[in-house]
Each structure stands twice: as structure tokens, then as C-alpha cells.
Amino acid sequence: MLTVILAIVIVILLTIGIVWVIDKFVPKKLKPILHILLWAIIVFLSYNTFMSVYGEIKFNELKEKRYAVAIEKLKDIRDAELAYRQVNGKFTDNFDELVKFIDNGVFTITQRRDSTVHDEEMTKRFGGVTMTKEIVIIDTLGFVPVKDSLFGADTRYKTMMNVPVGKPNSKFTLKAGMLDNIPVFEASVDKAILLDGEDENLIAKEKQVVAVDGVNGPSLTVGSMVEVKTNGNWPKNYSKD
């Protein structure tokens, strides 16, 4: 946007300079023709400047809408991955396996309680004096299907691997592994895929964004393979939550 503003200022200054040159040095007979030509140039440059500003505004509006839709899909993937780790102790990089897990997986509902019991070993050490110790008892209360817990009757999880906007038939990239013996995962999509069909220069500029209120980097991402985190790289203004 700063570049556009500078271009407008330069055009205005250039126009003033040309008018001054015409009034100062051009013969009166040629002035009407030059004025017409000058106005034509001014209109042309003004139109291009306006379209440049307007085009970027429309691009940003479309970008925000597409990002918001994709983010909802990424949050579904994150919820599914967190549930998978809770049950299996790790993340998965396979969407088919993740969908199968949601269809068939269950959460175990437990209750933790403290209790005091007789400590036979310590009792022997103290010559028969009754000793006790504290223990934790975990009771299994029941099971809840993962599907019901995360999505209820909604079956959108079956298509969570599909990028919902931008380039047709695109899929999110899903990775999983270990980082310092801690499970990590990452789901992402290139911004060029989300913004497919738009101005290539604006897409290239968007992929280089580094801003507090923007989606930094070349892709929209949740999780990370290089640090332990499960949040996304988008600011709050892009998410409903």
C-alpha cells in the first residue's frame, strides 16, 4: 500500500511539473493539443492507480474469507489429532487412519481418587507397628465414542483433508513425528493454493507477510514439526473462536 501511495504522489508532482513546463515553454498554438494529451495521460494513470488500490482491497477481502474457511478445517484436523494422541500416545500423518479413528475410537472416562492402605513392608521394618501408605486409584467409569465427543452427528470430519477453497481438488499436507521424544504434528496448505486464480504478484507478496495481524509465512499452518505447539499461525481476527 505504501508503494501505491508513493506512486500517486509521484504522479501528482509529475503532472504539476508538466503543466509548468507547458505554460513556460510551449507555444500557445500547441497548448490545447498538449492539454488534451496531458489529460488523457492523467486519466489513464489515475485509472491504473485506482485499479491497483481497489484490486488489492478486493484481494485482501477475498483472502480473509478464504483463510477463515480453511482455518475451520485446520481446527477440525487439530481436534482430531489431539484426540488421536490422547488415545494412542502419538499423532498420525495419515488422514485415512485419522478418519477411521474418529469412526471407531473411544475415550475412556476415568475417576481418580486417593486412598490409604496397609504398608506391609514398612510394618515389618518397624517391628510390627502398623504402617500405612497413600495410593492413587483410577476407576474406569465408562467409554465415550470419539465421534460423538468431537463432531456429534456432523460428518464433516470425513472430508477434513480437502482444502475447501482455492485450487480445486487440493489436499492439506499432514505430518507427524517426534521432537525430543514429544509427539508433534503439522497440517498446512500453501497460500498459493488458497488464493488460486488471483493476481500472482499479490499472492507472492502475501507469502512474504511478516505482521502481527497477518498470517505469516508462505502457508496456513496448525501445529509444527520444529517446535512443540498445537496452535495455528493465524491471528485471532481470522478465527471465530
Ordered per-residue pLDDT tens for the chain, 241 residues = 556 566 666 766 777 677 667 666 667 776 677 667 777 777 776 666 666 667 788 888 999 999 999 999 999 999 999 999 999 999 999 999 999 999 998 755 546 667 677 667 777 777 676 777 776 666 555 557 888 889 988 999 999 999 999 999 999 999 999 999 999 999 999 999 999 989 899 999 999 988 888 899 999 999 999 999 999 999 887 766 5
The grid coordinates listed for 174 are 499432514
Domain boundaries, the chain: 57-103+153-238
- The predicted pLDDT at position 175 comes to 97
- The predicted pLDDT at position 191 comes to 96
- The predicted pLDDT at position 6 comes to 67
- The predicted pLDDT at position 2 comes to 57
The grid coordinates listed for 143 are 467409554
- The predicted pLDDT at position 184 comes to 97
The grid coordinates listed for 86 are 490422547
- The predicted pLDDT at position 110 comes to 47
Cα gap 41→137, rounded to integer Å: 84
Cα gap 175→201, rounded to integer Å: 29
Cα gap 188→119, rounded to integer Å: 53
Which residues fall within 8 angstroms of residue 210, CB to CB, at 6 or more apart?
216
Dihedral of the CA atoms 215, 221, 224, 230 (nearest 10)? 90
Dihedral of the CA atoms 138, 140, 143, 149 (nearest 10)? -30
Cα gap 75→77, rounded to integer Å: 5
Cα gap 36→149, rounded to integer Å: 71
Which residues fall within 8 angstroms of residue 40, CB to CB, at 6 or more apart?
none
In the DSSP assignment, the letter for residue 167 is S
**Is the alpha carbon torsion for 120, 122, 124, 130 positive or negative?**
negative
**Is the alpha carbon torsion for 205, 211, 215, 218 positive or negative?**
positive
